[in-house]
Amino acid sequence: MKPKIYITRKLPELVVDKLKNAFEVRMWEEEVEPVPREILEKEIQEVEGLYCLLTESIDRNLLTLAPRLKIVSNMAVGYNNIDVAAATEKGIMVTNTPGVLTETTADLTFALLMASARRIVEASDYLRAGSWKTWSPMQLTGQDIYGATLGIFGLGRIGESLAKRARGFDMNILYHNRSRKPRAEEQLGIKYVDKEALLRESDFVCVLTPYTPETENYIGTAELSLMKRNAVLINTARGGIVNEEALYHALKSGQIWGAGLDVFKEEPVRTDHPLLSLPNVVALPHIGSASRNTRLKMALLAAENLIQGLLGETPKNLVN
């Protein structure tokens, strides 16, 4: 008998077919609605493998309902939605999808930086609203990108790829990370600084750290108050790393100049969230890795991890 798995969202056919070759598959067939918790709680009781997305909270309570579960395969590089400690205690493997989304997410991070600096969304809305009456010297002026200082919090794969893009814009690049990366410093011409120096000196601060208890509210009132008044904060990691209330006040009061956010503490973010009322915020619905090719690669990699795990091999991207 084939092992049973549950997939928490409709996946591309190619990926489902691959999984069906190896497993007895049940799947939540919707694309725009996440699986309701009650259904997940029921489905998980029967299966040996779970294929899930970052939208599902795989917490201790849920894992307790799953006596047969051997592996949770997350179709994301971040896995803060999974209680890895609880999974490990129960002997359940957890896997993620690093590597395949690095360049695509770095592209989006730089796109968000540029859109925020040059007010692209605001300017486009201005035109469509019929407000464009004439060309005017200081109209819709933003911040220069070339030659500016970029500060990167979290120099993992995506951070390094972002630095490569920034070099092409002649940016001066600083980073702060748990450990120093001498090879990257040499190859990319970037400089390690402490947290405070990064905040004080950067024109653009990009948040790319994993979301853990240590990085929760990593950027709050104290950090924002060190930043330059012309500075732009970009977050394409996880919403909870930046304190949203503190960010709102910093943007509203002119303590910092703008922000580009692809992630929010609660997703989907409410449309009446205070941050969305500010013209100096560019907001996106968590699309960092959203290119067709990359999403397909992530979906396939998550399938491969699940197959390896349930066929008795060590999955390529085991995190515990």
Where in the sequence numbering do the catalytic residues fall?
Answer: 238, 267, 286
Burial level of 168, CB count in 10 A (0-12/13-18/19+)? Answer: exposed
SS3 6: strand
Q: How far is the CB of 211 from ligand GLV (least distance, A)?
A: 9
Q: How far is the CB of 137 from ligand GLV (least distance, A)?
A: 40
The nearer residue to ligand GLV, 202 or 289, going by C-beta atoms, is 289
Residues in the chain: 320
Q: How far is the CB of 289 from ligand GLV (least distance, A)?
A: 5
CB 151 within 8 A of CB 198: yes
Q: Tell me how many residues contact ligand GLV (CB under 6 A).
A: 7
Q: How far is the CB of 61 from ligand GLV (least distance, A)?
A: 23
User: What backbone torsions phi and psi does residue 191 show, to the nearest 5 degrees?
Assistant: -120, 135
Helices and strands (DSSP H and E) totals, the chain: 12, 12
Q: Which window, 71-79, 134-142, 144-152, 275-283, contacts ligand GLV (CB under 6 A)?
A: 71-79
Q: How far is the CB of 74 from ligand GLV (least distance, A)?
A: 8
Q: How many CA atoms lie within 13 A of 320 on its CB side?
A: 22
Tokens 């709102």 locate to: 248
The nearer residue to ligand GLV, 99 or 274, going by C-beta atoms, is 99
Q: Does 101 bind ligand GLV (CB under 6 A)?
A: yes
The nearer residue to ligand GLV, 173 or 302, going by C-beta atoms, is 302
The nearer residue to ligand GLV, 53 or 224, going by C-beta atoms, is 53
- Consecutive H or E run containing 20: helix 13-22
Q: Does 78 bind ligand GLV (CB under 6 A)?
A: yes
Q: What is the DSSP letter of 119?
A: T
The nearer residue to ligand GLV, 3 or 98, going by C-beta atoms, is 98
Q: How far is the CB of 160 from ligand GLV (least distance, A)?
A: 17
CB 111 within 8 A of CB 91: no
- Amino acid letter, 210: P
Could you write out the DSSP letters of every residue in 234-289?
EE-S-GGGB-HHHHHHHHHTTSS-EEEES--SSSSPPTT-GGGG-TTEEE-SS-TT
* Residue in 77, 100, 152, 307 binding ligand GLV, rule: CB under 6 A: 77
Q: Does 289 bind ligand GLV (CB under 6 A)?
A: yes
Q: Between residue 37 and residue 66, which ones bind ligand GLV under the rule CB under 6 A?
A: 54
Angle between helices 292-310 and 102-117 (to 10 degrees): 140
* Residue in 11, 62, 76, 241 binding ligand GLV, rule: CB under 6 A: 76
Q: Which window, 70-78, 127-135, 185-193, 215-223, contacts ligand GLV (CB under 6 A)?
A: 70-78
CB 169 within 8 A of CB 146: yes
Binding site for ligand GLV (CB under 6 A): 54, 76-78, 101, 288-289
